[in-house]
Amino acid sequence: MTVQGIPAGLDYQPGVLVPQIVSGDGPAARAGIAAGDVILSINRQQLGADENAIIKLQTEIQKHPNQEIPLMVERTDRILTLRVTPKAGPDGKGRIGVQLYPHGTPIYRAAQNPFEVLRVAAEQFQNIFVRTVQGFGQLITDFKSVAHQVGGPVKIVEAGAKFAQSDSANLLFFAAIVSINLAILNILPLPALDGGQLVFLLIEGLRGKPLPTKVQENVMQTGLMLLLGLGVFLIIRDTTQLEVFQKLLD
């Protein structure tokens, strides 16, 4: 923030940005909507360049549960016409399974003093931390819907490259998200991680003596193999999903 400045709003552009598909088998995914798309119109109603665009889009989606509605979507340098059928939620309102974000270029201003930088940075850290913890919680409570969002090193590099192309400030923000995710992951009570070591120390404190060395080694080796296996699986899966790889297959 000291380099980029304090966020001071957006220079709005027409449409609503879809930064992420929440459900891999939801209405948006089935309709062909992809992360990074900009929804320009819904049900033949244009979405303007203002803060009300998201509200207008959400209202139309909620008003048409189980009804097919047309969308005009901008993807890179192409304009696509898609049709999506919102799924009725528990409240009867339509949902399509995406995150929505205002479409525009961030505006920054100079910080008034160092304390303002610290205050804003603390607020953003808290926001990222809470969202990250909620995300890990969803892996337990709703694994099927969010499992496709889990990514490995390939996915991280791909996302970082996209942020670097759009805005260096976004890249710094993305680096902060990755760092916080890794910190939270590291303290989870999993073998081969610091959280696993804390569990061993807790057990030692309760027992008054440490677990047998052989038991600790077996648990750590098993956990390490599971983590390495998961890492290899994510690398292979994410690589096959890269646009360059898909073009080679085509």
Q: What is the per-residue pLDDT across 3-56, written as a single tens digit (0 to 9) for each?
A: 566 777 778 889 999 887 777 778 988 898 888 889 999 989 999 888 889 999
**Residue 189 phi, psi dihedral angles, 5° rounding:** -75, 65
Q: Write down the domain spans for the chain.
A: 1-110, 151-250
Q: Assign a CATH topology to domain 1-110.
A: Pdz3 Domain (2.30.42)
How far apart CA 235 and CA 240 sit, in angstroms, is 9
How far apart CA 60 and CA 40 sit, in angstroms, is 13
Q: What is the per-residue pLDDT across 180-222, written as a single tens digit (0 to 9) for each?
A: 888 888 888 887 788 888 888 898 888 888 888 888 888 888 8
Global pTM value? 0.58
57 — pLDDT class (breaks 50, 70, 90)? very high
